[in-house]
Structure 1
Amino acid sequence: METANKIVLTIQGRKVTFAPSLDIYNDYINAMMPNNKVAPARNFVMRCVDPEDKDHVRELLDKPGAPIQIAGAIMEQYTPDLQITVGE
């Protein structure tokens, strides 16, 4: 896993490491459709979770809403907070 993009989240009291990449991020965004959000979120989480944490995360993802919540927390840490203004 890329060390520059490591994100550590505490989920259900346990630290879990993720390493999203631009390719994984882009695949996630491209896979989301208005009627399909859970499967892309689940895939995104599983693609960027540290191999040592995969079994634990796989169990968590079976809980209602977990894929979206975990993916959202990763995205919040991964994506930059750009200062964008329209016009001047």
Structure 2
Amino acid sequence: MEIKLSINGIDVTFKPNKLAYNSYINDITMTDKIAPATNFLRRIVLPEDKEKLNEILDNHAGAALQIVEKIIKQFAPDLEIEIKN
């Protein structure tokens, strides 16, 4: 699955996978959210878009978390779960 985002008019394509997603979730801590998000994005961005991603991350505070949020909504959508008694 490829996810193409337009970020401030710049097209960047990501190819998330289960291993990268699980690593991202496992790396998040109460005091560290930015580094795991940044690492996740750099693992899944297409090689030809890596430079564009780095420019966005370097020039926009909070960009990593905003981008990860969009990707995760597509890659791992919420399940409909209900309790049955």
- Establish whether TM, by shorter chain, passes 0.5: yes
Over the matched positions of the two proteins, sequence identity in percent amounts to 45
CA RMSD of aligned residues (A): 1.0
**Distance of 2:34 and 2:10 partners within structure 1:** 23
**Distance of 1:87 and 1:34 partners within structure 2:** 32
Q: Is residue 2:39 matched to residue 1:65?
A: no
* TM-score normalized with structure 1 length: 0.90
Gapped regions of structure 2 (runs ≥ 5): none
SS at match of 2:12: strand
Partner in structure 2 of residue 39 of structure 1: 35
Structure richer in helix, relative to its length: 2
* TM-score normalized with structure 2 length: 0.93
4+ aligned runs moved over 4 Å, structure 1? none
**Distance of 1:50 and 1:34 partners within structure 2:** 29
**1:19 offset after TM fit, Å?**
0.3
**Distance of 2:11 and 2:56 partners within structure 1:** 13
Gapped regions of structure 1 (runs ≥ 5): none
**1:14 offset after TM fit, Å?**
1.9
How many pairs does the alignment contain?
84
**Distance of 2:67 and 2:77 partners within structure 1:** 17
